[in-house]
Structure 1
Amino acid sequence: MATLFSRIIAGELPGRFVWQDPEVTAFLTIAPLRPGHTLVVPRREVDRWTDADGALLARCFEVAQAIGQGVQRAWDAPRAGVVIAGFEVPHLHIHVAPVWDMSDFDFSKAKPEEDQSALDEAAAKLRAALLELGYEQARDTGPEL
């Protein structure tokens, strides 16, 4: 059975994509810690990050770094935070969000965003920042390449 993230990647469920390449995709979470909170997800289903082969994990972190640069730029944040928790969905995903202090990592504060336009605006803002940084992978934002 396909994971929730595989279904989003396949276009079966909606997603606000900000990155597409043949191995990795990134889309905004529906329950952000902060605006711009993005999930970096490999297309291939791997449950735990410790089970991923080195090349795939390296690619995921390369994309997470690019997304981090984008969220810092888009929200003028002093840092981009990265977390791998892995409990929500059994599909490797790296949380990347703009952060100002350690309290920004409190997942108990993450609540589903009720204003869908806020998610649309955050995705557009992040895509624009990524494109300004020269990441063309932000241009194709549909679910499939």
Structure 2
Amino acid sequence: MTIFSKIVAGEIPAYKVAENDEFLAFLDIFPLTEGHLLVIPKKEVDYLFDLDDDTYTGLQLFAKKVAIGLKEAVPCPRVGVAVMGLDVPHAHIHLIPMNDMSSINFSLPKQKFTPEQFNATAEKIRQAIG
């Protein structure tokens, strides 16, 4: 069971911003920028492109809705999308507020936020998503 499956099962807490029966979006606890999100299918599948077509397209549409709210909550010119998939063997999409190209550079040091800051950011995003 991956760490993401444990989050889905409620065994590990997360700063959730959106959820339905099939998908979940939550703050990355090692973010590149404020508002850096992970969007996952609740079904554990290792590789994004191994998802069945319905789950894949559903995940993309869910991520789009989340990205629109993210851009409103954390103002930025663009929300970047990245699929890395090497750290956790559970399909996931990174949504990253971008102010410039370096905002999505995974080799940069990760940002550090307090639990209060994470909670405040998550709440702003939840409100913007509706």
1: CA distance, partners of 2:118 / 2:27: 7
Q: 1:112 to 1:79 in 2, by over 3 A?
A: closer
- Partner amino acid for 2:45? V
Give the residue type in structure 2 aligned to 1:55. Answer: D
| TM-score of the superposed pair, with normalisation by structure 2 | 0.95
Counterpart position of 1:69? 68
Could you tell me which residue of structure 2 aligns to residue 12 of structure 1? 11
Match of 2:79 in 1: 80
Counterpart Cα distance in 2 of 1:11 and 1:107:
28
Structure 1 runs, 4 residues or longer, greater than 3 Å off? none
Alignment check: 8 A CA contact 2:33 2:111 kept: no
Amino acid at match of 2:35: G
Structure 2 residue 31 is matched with structure 1 residue 35:
no
Give the TM-score of the pair, scaled to structure 1: 0.85
Note if contact 1:31-1:110 (Cα within 8 Å) is conserved in structure 2.
no
State the 1:114 CA deviation.
4.6
2:50 partner letter? D
Distance, in Å, in 2 between the alignment partners of 1:49 and 1:69 is: 21
Unaligned runs of 5+ residues in structure 2 are: none
SS at match of 2:124: helix
CA offset at residue 113 of structure 1?
2.8
Q: Which residue is equivalent to 2:22? A: 23
Identity of matched residues, % = 39
Gaps of 5+ in 1: 132-145
